[in-house]
Amino acid sequence: MRSTGRPGADTVLICGAGIAGTVLAYRLARAGLRPTVVERSAALRRAGNAVDLRGPAVEVMAEMGVLGELEARATELDEFFRIDSSGKRVFTMAPEVIGGEIELLRTELNAVLLDAAHAGVEYRFGDSIRSLDDRGDGVCVAFDSGGRGDFDLVVGADGLHSRTRRLTCGPETEFVRHLGCYQAHFTTGNVLGLRNAGLLFNRPGRTLGCYTVHQNTELVIGLFFESAQRSYDRADVAAQRHWINRVFDGMGWRTAELLEAMRACDDFYFDAIAQVSLARPYRGRVALVGDAAYGPSLLSGMGATLAIVGAAILADEISGHPDDHQQAFARYASRIRDMARLSQELARASLGWFIQPDDARGIPPETQLAADRESDVLRDRTLAAVRAAFANPPSRARK
């Protein structure tokens, strides 16, 4: 893990083995560089919701040779609808509003990508960076395990609560924008008997959503609620579940039954719904990618697509400018700017549609259709910006 001793980008430390970090590692290794991935968790995490792949993200998956496997693991939802407190359908949504060209569980996407990206990549699970010392001609990294290493470049792909971003740019409060709500996800058996379907149940300030996975044998449950930003212990799962139980108590329909299932799940996930905004996603020899740099939140439906395409762009710029990381990072920042901005606009526009001040019974169908059309237009603009970013290759290639 030692630097070559010359200005360049041969050794790259990637912090985070999620979607962005794994795609970045794969493309750097294929270009002849030497990526090392450090991941704080001892193994791939199991919790999380489904993610959508759209446009160029699907092309990147095809280039990695994993498209067929991802399609085989897709949720394949045929319909998505809102219900009232009696369980009656009150509005059916177009599938493309909820899912992309491919929709699958984040955990399954991560596993497939990791299997494809092992060649030429060193992985260090159960460790994390403790400190970074950018010396101009390289970065000296100290790890929680006590080890040290010198790298030409460092990339933070460590998500919304990025330690790399904090060490490089400053505290999270300067870059993370809370959107006024929180989320929880877990998996349980298909107690609702849904088939290739999902639903949303809205009450004032609260939304319960669920959809089928694994050939209709299981449901992913999503719980979303309005709240001012609060301090809480991210490691205290019991307290998070208690918070969820208090918020959703008395919501009606079959919510109590699903909350009971939450007690037995082993893949509970809880976090704020927030966005990350950086004027410049790099400093010196350290760059940020994916949610660590421009996370739009799950409300956009574009987070995984941006992570994949952003990682592909960054990898191609680094390998295309091996002796000039400043140019590589600057071009990367320029190329992703519009797609990041528009995806965040899309998320903010979707917030009121997703977590509503009134329940679904009081929302006229014409209002729903108008909201769908507005989201469709903004989603199309965002996807056009993603395609434009991906179609703008590095000015020269690595030889």
Which tens digit of pLDDT belongs to each residue from 251-261? Answer: 999 999 999 99
Confirm whether 5 is domain-assigned.
no
Residue 396 lies in a domain: no
Phi/psi of residue 373, nearest 5 degrees: -65, -40
pLDDT over 90, % of the chain: 79
**What's the Cα-to-Cα distance from 34 to each of 23, 144, 151, rounded to whole Å?**
14, 22, 10
Read off the pLDDT of residues 334-354 as tens digits, 9 standing for 90 and up: 999 999 999 999 999 888 777
Please tell me the distance from the alpha carbon of residue 197 to that of residue 77, in angstroms, as a whole number. Answer: 5
Q: Look-up: residue for tokens 């200005």?
A: 7
Is residue 243 one of the residues assigned to a domain?
Answer: yes
For residues 298 and 279, give the distance between their C-alpha atoms in angstroms, rounded to a whole number. 21
**Could you report the per-residue pLDDT of 237-295, keeping only the tens digit for each?**
999 999 999 999 999 999 999 999 999 999 999 999 999 999 999 999 999 999 999 99
In this structure, is residue 398 part of a structural domain?
no
Q: In this structure, what are the phi and psi dihedrals at residue 341, rounded to the nearest 5 degrees?
A: -60, -45
* For residue 19, pLDDT beyond 80: yes
Phi, psi of 258 (to 5 degrees): -75, -35
Tens-digit pLDDT profile for residues 303-336: 999 999 999 999 999 999 989 999 999 999 999 9
Helix axes 365-390, 303-320, angle to 10 degrees: 10
Band (pLDDT 50/70/90 cuts) for residue 363 is low
Dist CA 1 CA 152 (whole Å) = 10
For the residues 227-236, what does the mean pLDDT come to?
A: 94
Query: Is 156 among the domain residues?
Result: yes
pLDDT tens digit string along 168-183?
999 999 999 999 999 9
CB atoms within 10 A of CB 298: 24
Residue by residue, DSSP assigns 105-139 as EHHHHHHHHHHHT-TT-EEEET--EEEEEE-SS-E
Among 46-50, 154-158, 394-398, which stretch is predicted with the lowest mean pLDDT? Answer: 394-398
Q: What is the pLDDT of residue 372?
A: 63
Residue 26 identity (one-letter amino acid) = Y
Q: Of 182, 202, 190, 189, whose CA–CA distance to 367 is shortest?
A: 202
DSSP H helix total and E strand total for the chain? 12, 18
The model's confidence at residue 222, banded by pLDDT at 50, 70 and 90, is very high
What pLDDT is recorded for position 357?
62
Amino acid 205: pLDDT: 92
387-396: per-residue pLDDT in tens?
Answer: 999 997 765 4
pTM for the whole structure: 0.92
Nearest to 166 by CA among 276, 72, 74: 276
CB 247 within 8 A of CB 265: no
Confidence of residue 371 (pLDDT cuts 50, 70, 90): low
Give the contacts of 356 (CB within 8 A, at least 6 positions apart): 202, 204, 207, 363
Q: What is the CATH number of the domain that holds 84?
A: 3.50.50.60
Whether residue 380 is predicted with pLDDT greater than 60 in this model: the reply is: yes
Domain that holds residue 75: 11-391
Q: Write down the pLDDT at residue 9.
A: 67
In the chain, alpha helices (H): 19-30, 56-63, 67-72, 95-98, 106-116, 163-169, 237-248, 255-264, 291-294, 303-320, 325-354, 365-390
Alpha-carbon span 170 to 397, nearest angstrom = 33
Structural domain total, the chain: 1
Residue 382 domain-assigned (yes or no): yes
Residue 6 lies in a domain: no
Tokens of 246: 């208090």
Assess if residue 204 is contained within a domain: yes
- Residue 397 pLDDT: 43
Average pLDDT, the chain: 90
Q: Which amino acid is located at 171 in the chain?
A: P
pLDDT at 356 over 90: no
Residue 369: band (very low, low, confident or very high) from pLDDT cuts 50, 70, 90: low
Separation between Cα atoms, residue 172 and residue 276, nearest integer Å: 9
